[in-house]
Amino acid sequence: MSAVTESVLESIISPVTMSEFLEEYWPVKPLVARGEVERFTSIPGFEKVRTLENVLAIYNNPVMVVGDAVIEESEGITDRFLVSPAEALEWYEKGAALEFDFTDLFIPQVRRWIEKLKAELRLPAGTSSKAIVYAAKNGGGFKAHFDAYTNLIFQIQGEKTWKLAKNENVSNPMQHYDLSEAPYYPDDLQSYWKGDPPKEDLPDAEIVNLTPGTMLYLPRGLWHSTKSDQATLALNITFGQPAWLDLMLAALRKKLISDNRFRELAVNHQSLHESSKSELNGYLESLIQTLSENAETLTPEQIFQSQDSDFDPYQSTQLVFRQLLTSYKF
Binding-site residues for Fe cation sit at 145, 147, 224
The Cα 234–Cα 135 span in angstroms is 7
What are the φ and ψ backbone dihedral angles of 243, each rounded to 5 degrees?
-95, 165
149: left (phi over 0), alpha (psi -120 to 50) or beta: beta
Cβ–Cβ under 8 Å, residues 265 and 167: no
The Cα 81–Cα 88 span in angstroms is 11
CA nearest neighbour of 210 among 148, 141, 117: 141
Residues in the chain, overall count: 330
Sequential DSSP letters for 185-218:
--HHHHTT--SPPPPTT-TTPEEEEE-TT-EEEE
Mark the binding-site residues, compressed into ranges.
Answer: 145, 147, 224
Q: Which amino acid is at 232?
A: T
Alpha helices in the chain (DSSP H): 8-13, 18-20, 52-58, 68-73, 85-94, 108-120, 187-190, 244-256, 274-296, 300-304, 313-325
Beta-carbon contacts of 292 under 8 Å, excluding residues fewer than 6 positions away, are none
